Amino acid sequence: MTDTYAKQLALVIDLNTCVGCHACVTSCKSWNTSGWAGPLTDENPYDKDPTGVFFNRVQTYEAGTFPHTETVHFPKSCLHCEDPPCVPVCPTKATYKREEDGIVVVDYDKCIGCKYCSWACPYGARELDENEGVMKKCTLCVDRIYDTDLPEADRKPACVLACPPGARLFGDITDPDSEVSIAIREEGGYQLMPEWGAKPSNHYLPKRKTKRVIHDDELVRADNPLKKEGPLPKADEKSPSLDDVTSW
């Protein structure tokens, strides 16, 4: 099932930058419930036991023992695997990987709602929309990224545009010069659960410590020869000025 695709669009998510604000979650829900993939139905949204369809979630993890802990905010959506295990198992071929850009999508008119694709996804990226009886998943905003009515800068997934600190990058990971490929290559981009061989296209950039070493002499003003604050001494009138025309 490993085919080569003309392109592989994907997200690269920088865990070092993500602040866990859930803006990508809400913008995703908002765009996709109103668009091609929608509605992303909710059950009892304002009542007891609400539940509903989401393509994107932000989770929070903690590493270490208090007080030496590190918080990791972890956004999770479909990873648009290069070898997606959800695709071959679909009995109706409703789920497929687009040859032109590698996005994994579901044909809602063919899906029978057997949930087998959700069993076959180790990442839990597929959900049943119980109202519509079909499986739904992240489309990488396929209805938005090719929309020529939008300004070029807006032709990106809703989550990418919404991310306040810019932790989400979007692009073609098969193009070595793309922003995402450079980020993966130069900042240690990695895949989730590589042990299952699905080769997820979305990559994550690790948390990293940003440290600055300050030496003692940087804390002391070295440019004040008098070692005290005050007006600088005036130069002698005969000494050369900067332009040799004006005088001090």
Partner 1 sequence: MRPAFSVIFLTTLIGAGQGLFLALIAGQFYWVIGATPAQEAANFYALGSLLSLCLLSTGLFSSFFHLAHPERAWRSAAAWRTSWLSREVIVLPLVMGLLVVYGGLHWLDWHPVLMTFGNMKDLDLSMAVGYLGAGAVIMLFVCTAMIYACMKFIQEWASPVTVLNFTLMGSASGFVLVTAYAGIMGSPLWDFYAGGALALTVLALFGRLASLLRNRMLKPMSSVQTAIGVRHRNLRQITRGFTAGAFNLKEFFHPGNPSLLPLLTGFYVTAAFAVPILLMAVGWQLQSTALFGLAFVVQYAGLVAERWMFFAEARHPQNLYYQKVA
- Does 130 participate in binding partner 1 (rule CB under 8 A)? yes
Tell me if residue 226 falls in helix, strand or coil. coil
Segment interacting with partner 1, rule: CB under 8 A, options 147-155, 157-165, 185-193, 227-235: 185-193
Q: How far apart are CA 87 and CA 23, in angstroms?
A: 29
The correct pick among 83, 143, 196, 199 for binding partner 1 (CB under 8 A) is 196
Element (H, E) at 10: strand 9-14
Cα 189 → chain centroid: 12
Name 226's Cβ contacts closer than 8 Å, sequence gap at least 6. none
CB nearer to partner 1: pick between 34 and 92: 92
Q: How far apart are CA 105 and CA 124, in angstroms?
A: 15
The correct pick among 58, 140, 183, 184 for binding partner 1 (CB under 8 A) is 58
Name 41's Cβ contacts closer than 8 Å, sequence gap at least 6. 52, 53, 129, 130, 131, 132
- Does 1 participate in binding partner 1 (rule CB under 8 A)? yes
- Does 76 participate in binding partner 1 (rule CB under 8 A)? yes
The correct pick among 116, 143, 182, 199 for binding partner 1 (CB under 8 A) is 116
Question: Do residues 104 and 95 lie in contact, with contact meaning Cβ atoms separated by under 8 Å?
Answer: yes
Segment interacting with partner 1, rule: CB under 8 A, options 177-185, 189-197, 211-219, 224-232: 189-197
CB nearer to partner 1: pick between 120 and 182: 120
Q: What are phi and psi of 10, to 5 degrees?
A: -160, 165
- Does 55 participate in binding partner 1 (rule CB under 8 A)? no
The least CB distance from residue 230 to partner 1, in Å, is: 53
Residues at the interface with partner 1 (CB under 8 A) = 1, 15, 22, 25, 43, 49-54, 57-65, 70-72, 74, 76, 85, 87-94, 110-116, 118-124, 127-128, 130, 133-134, 190-196, 204, 206-207
